[in-house]
Amino acid sequence: MDYKAITDTFTELALKAGEVILEVYASPDFDVKSKSDESPVTEADEKADALISAGLREAFPDLALVTEEQAATHGQSVSTFLIVDPLDGTKEFVQRRGEFTVNIALVEDGVPTHGVVYAPVLGRLFRTLPGGGAEEIKPDGTDATPLKVATPDNAALKVVASKSHRDAATDEYISKYQVADFLSAGSSLKFCLLAAGEADLYPRLGRTMEWDTAAGDAVLRAAGGEVHAWEGGALKYGKEGFANPFFICFAPGVELKDR
């Protein structure tokens, strides 16, 4: 597989989708609809999805595509595929908090190997590299910074959790650790904060889908981090229905507590 083409295409489409999303974000008002699971969807989700899907199908016609906004793609049984969340963190988008992302990933044999996460309002783009590793770059392609997870201090951990979906069970689990700094972030940015060494631990005790996590998971693993299912073992992709179990992300060296 041509991983350079994967990286270049993912980056180009994420940036273009970001432009479309920001056009809607800048408008004084936009419609918000509810999907069958009662999650919100906006014109920005739909426009970004159409752009990304068309670009991926043209560039990689032989790869299966799974995308959040196209229910017809959710019934596939695949282990190697492209997976897209065109606007992760729609609640952040609707509330104009800025912490939403464009997510595009490649899953190979159940493992997310390549991905791009782009936060257009924050101007942060995180991506895996064709030959291994990951980097953060500016939207204009400058200031490439290699990503590497931190070496954690278990006496003073930096923990990140969901801004919109944090609950009592999450707080109870976090209370088992000695926490020096607590970060709250929306969307797949939580994976990227770990990848950039800005946090050490991210527990997720709540519903997520594979399109929510694949790109951030790929970036974090490429930066040296780990993503485990709550019951143990690396988080797998291509599951029936593409629903995730609870999971935990961490920098190696974190002394994990009983789950």
Known binding residues are 68, 85, 87-90, 212
Hey, how many other C-beta atoms are within 10 angstroms of the C-beta on 71?
Answer: 10
Question: Measuring CA to CA, which residue among 106, 83, 82, 101 is closest to residue 91?
Answer: 101
106: left (phi over 0), alpha (psi -120 to 50) or beta: beta
25: left (phi over 0), alpha (psi -120 to 50) or beta: alpha
Binding region for substrate = 68, 87-90, 212
CB 189 within 8 A of CB 236: no
> Would you call 234 exposed, middle or buried from its count of C-beta atoms within 10 A (0-12, 13-18, 19+)?
middle
49/42 Cα distance (integer angstroms): 11
Binding region for Mg(2+) = 68, 85, 87-88, 212
